Structure formats: structure tokens, C-alpha cells
Amino acid sequence: MDRLKLVVVGGGITGLAAAHRAVELARERAIALDLTLFEARTRLGGTIGTERADGFLVEVGPDSFLSEKPWALALCRRLGVEDRLVRTDDRFRKVFVWRAGRLHPLPDGFQLLAPTKFGPFVTSGLFSWPGKLRMALDLILPRGVSDDESLGAFVRRRLGREALERVAQPLVAGIYTADPDDLSLAATMPRFRELERRDRSVILGLWRAARRAPLDGTSGARWSLFVTFQNGMEELVTTLASRLPPGATLLKQRVDEIERRGGRWRVVSAEGSLIEADRVIVAVESHISGRLLRYVDPALATLLGEIPYASSATVTLGYRRTDVPHPVDGFGFVVPRTEHRALLACTFSSVKYPGRAPEGHVLLRCFVGGALNEGVLELDDATLVARAREELRQALGVTAEPVLTRVSRWAKAMPQYHVGHGGRVEAIERCTAALPGLHLAGGAYRGVGIADCIRSGEAAAERALGVESVVSDRFDRAESP
């Protein structure tokens, strides 16, 4: 049997999942596979990375994945690393909203956009009484008629301005680093559109769902909603890399062009490597994919370049516990844009997960930037740290010097699912289907989370090897903060 030559472009979690799945399938189906994975950076993992310093465990990118989306957990089971996973400390599941100089607990049972429990909502100081009454109007408002609208427009229409400004916008910023008035509801949170269509009222739909099953889906379950690795998310990267064939991975090899030659593909790196392949999986940001494919299909390249991206950064600070006056008795806080702060959010990492800080210390992870405030990223690291420290002083009362400081920047790394995103993705898929042997994967298309990227990469590998995919192509409910 002739060997099947497969090239994967991109060594982030999507590309690694694609490469690993291809190796799995080749072994299962007795396919003679010749695999090459190109990665431009000096390491694999993309935005996923873990650092240990002075007893702290610092995530430079994503710190967890969702258990309710099955693809990441399923991969961990196949890799045999499920025993290395840890759940959140659910004694401290509270999330705070920083508003008017105070941290207000998000009312118990608030499901991203709307309340599901009457008592905590009514007694919450986060909303004014007019705001609470406006949210209650959702119970009697008629259904909307738009096939796709912005998330911001949907929340204003159903639940009012306060629900958008004080909860939906800051929580969505924590997921997509995006402006809700640009985000497509259908592409990011289709669950709420379906609730309106089925139950007319979002609140009624959530209440009915709560009666059918526990809202968080974790009661009695092994895993919490968020799951991570005991030694950091980079464990997933190193495990996947270790399962690839020796010599398959080429680091510091930036692909410069992809060409179609007859019935095969040529992948050319800026460093001079040239590989001919039967199948190519492109698992990089869509704007990079568009550049690589500009001579293969200009229309496809244009569509890929139309998906916008936002930049963000994290400022991670370690403190002695005695230097933090706040009880840090939650997972963290989010910051509405109306507060005019640099911070988008702050995760209490050492509370959320075990082993993130040495005894007697806390680890705080601050997020800045995003589509609504990319200008803050023009500041240098020292100024970003100073801004984060000043706002932590105001929010948590911390005035002491941190014992650990880390800044991680991610330029144009978060795709923005603007209104019409679903139609654009369908057009991209039609163009790609006309190019046999070419497959696109990544967070730009049908989900931005780690589990979504794993699903996308594995589905691309299945298509590349001619195996019928068991992975759904529909948009799924977006990740919750």
C-alpha cells in the first residue's frame, strides 16, 4: 500500500489534536501514514503554556477546559491521563462583578444572561429595582423574529440594558474578549436563541430546564464544569506531542506558502523546507490561513481574512496571603466596560484550583485588552503591571508588592464571531470542499474553547483519512465563565 503523506500546519492544540487523531486512525485502519507537523514557534501548544516559579504554577494561556463539551475529556481518556485531571474547588464557586467600587456576588443561579432563582435575584444589590423589573418583562415579551442578531441586541431586547451592561457584557468579555454588539448570538450562544424560540421567554426556558436537571450538570458527577491538569494545561500538550512519531514535528519552521500541484499539495516553509503531501490540515489562525492559501483560492483567502481577531494579555501576580485583605472566597471577578477599568476580569487561580500557589500565598490572574480595549496593550509590561496592581488595590485592598509577576501577551489570537459568522463559515466550507485534500481546523470556525478546538482538529483528521466523522458540525453552547 502507498504511504499517505499528511502535513499539519500549526502546532497549537488544534494541530496537535489533528495529528494525534490521524496517528490513531492510521493505526486502527492499518493505513501507512507519513506525518509532518510544522510549527513556527520554538515550542508546541500555541496559547497553552505552563510555568513553575517559586512554588507558583502560572498558566500563560487557557487555565482549564469545559467538561460539558465531551471532546477534551474523551481525548484525555484515550491518552490515559484522566487521572491527572483536577476539578475546581466548588466551595468557592462564587463569581463577583466589580461595580461602583464594590465586588457584588453574581446572584446564585444566574445563567450568563438571566436569573433562574427568584430569591437571590430579588435581594441582589447588583441591579437596581427598575433593572430587575425590566428583566422580569422577559416573562411576557413576544418572541423575536431575527434569524441572527448580535448578542447585545438580544439581551437588550429580552432583559434590558442593566442585564447587558452589568452581567452579560463582562461575562462575555471573559469568554470572547469581544464587544457583545458585534457578536453573533447564533454563533456564540445559540442555546439562548433556542430558548426564546421554544419557550418564548428566556427566563421561563431556564426555569423549565432547571426542573428537568441540575443547572450546573455537575451534581454527583465526577467532574466540575471547569477541569484542568494537576500540573498545568501544558501536560496535555506534552502528552500529545509524545504520542506523535519521532521526527514528525518540525519546530521553528514557519510555513510561507501552500500550493496545489496536480493532485497533490506542496507546503513550503520560510526556512526552506518543502514537502509534497496528499492531504494538508491547516490549523492556524484564519488570517494566516488566508495568506497561505492566497494563490490556491483567492475567494477562500478573502473569506478567511474577513474573520476579525482581538488581542489580549494576562498579568499574573503572586502575593502572601496576609497581604490580601479580601477573603478571596470565589473564583474571581469580572469588570463591566461601563466601569472604565483596564481589567476585564481577575481569576483567583489558587482558590479555583489546587496547587497553584505555595502554602500561605495566593495567585491572581488579571486579564486586559480585548476588542473593547486593545489600546491598553500598547503599554509596556511594567505599566500593565502597575495598572493591574492599582485596580487590585481598589477591588481587593491589596497594597503590598507582589512576590511574583508575569505578563503574557497574545496578539490577534482570539477570533471574533461577528453577526453573520455562521454564513461566512458555511461559505468557507463550500470553498474548501472544492479543494480535495485540503482541510481547515481551529477556533476561527465553530467554537473557540479548547474542547471545540480538539473537536475541530480531530474532525479534520477524520476527513483527511477518509473516515466518516462522528463529530457534530453544529454550533454548541458557548463556554461559560
Average pLDDT, the chain: 92
Range of weakest confidence among 112-121, 292-301, 324-333, 362-371: 112-121
pLDDT digits (tens, 9 = 90+) for 436-452: 999 999 999 999 999 99
pLDDT for the residue 220: 41
Residues 6 or more apart whose Cβ sits within 8 Å of residue 389: 317, 398, 402
DSSP summary character for residue 262: T
DSSP string for 282-317: E-S-HHHHHHHTTTT-HHHHHHHHTS-EEEEEEEEE
pLDDT for the residue 317: 98
pLDDT for the residue 8: 98
Quick one: average pLDDT of 372-376? 93
More confident residue, 306 or 110: 306
Q: How far apart are CA 105 and CA 333, in angstroms?
A: 9
pLDDT for the residue 91: 84
The phi, psi pair for 88, rounded to 5°, reads -70, 155
pLDDT for the residue 222: 72
Q: How far apart are CA 264 and CA 247, in angstroms?
A: 22
pLDDT digits (tens, 9 = 90+) for 250-276: 999 999 999 998 889 999 998 888 999
Share of the chain above pLDDT 90, in %: 84
CATH class of domain segment(s) 64-91+309-415: alpha beta
pLDDT for the residue 213: 61
pLDDT digits (tens, 9 = 90+) for 14-23: 999 999 999 9
Fold that domain 110-212 belongs to in CATH: protoporphyrinogen ix oxidase, domain 3 (1.10.3110)
pLDDT at 398 over 70: yes
Contact 19, 8 (CB under 8 A): yes
pLDDT for the residue 480: 36
Range of weakest confidence among 21-25, 29-33, 171-175, 221-225: 221-225
Looking at residue 79, its amino acid is L
In the chain the first and final C-alpha atoms are separated, in Å, by 49
pLDDT for the residue 475: 41
pLDDT for the residue 216: 45
Q: How far apart are CA 346 and CA 368, in angstroms?
A: 9
Sequence-separated contacts (24+) of 196-203 with Cβ below 8 Å = 196/143, 196/144, 196/158, 197/143, 200/141, 200/142, 200/143, 201/138, 201/139, 201/140, 201/141, 202/113, 202/114, 202/138, 202/158, 202/159, 203/114, 203/115, 203/116, 203/135, 203/136, 203/138, 203/139
- Pick left, alpha or beta for residue 340 (phi over 0 → left; psi -120 to 50 → alpha; otherwise beta): left
| CATH number for the domain formed by residue range(s) 4-45+233-307+417-464 | 3.50.50.60
Q: What share of the chain is helix, strand, coil (3-state, %, to 5)?
A: 40, 25, 40
pLDDT at 477 over 50: no
More confident residue, 356 or 263: 356
pLDDT for the residue 470: 53
pLDDT for the residue 472: 46
pLDDT digits (tens, 9 = 90+) for 178-237: 999 999 999 999 999 999 999 999 999 998 887 776 544 443 457 788 999 999 999 999
The residue ranges of every structural domain in the chain are 4-45+233-307+417-464, 64-91+309-415, 110-212
Q: What is the model's pTM?
A: 0.93
Helical ranges in 70-182 per DSSP H: 70-79, 118-123, 129-136, 151-159, 161-163, 169-176
Residues 6 or more apart whose Cβ sits within 8 Å of residue 457: 13, 14, 15, 16, 17, 18, 19, 21, 281, 283, 441, 442
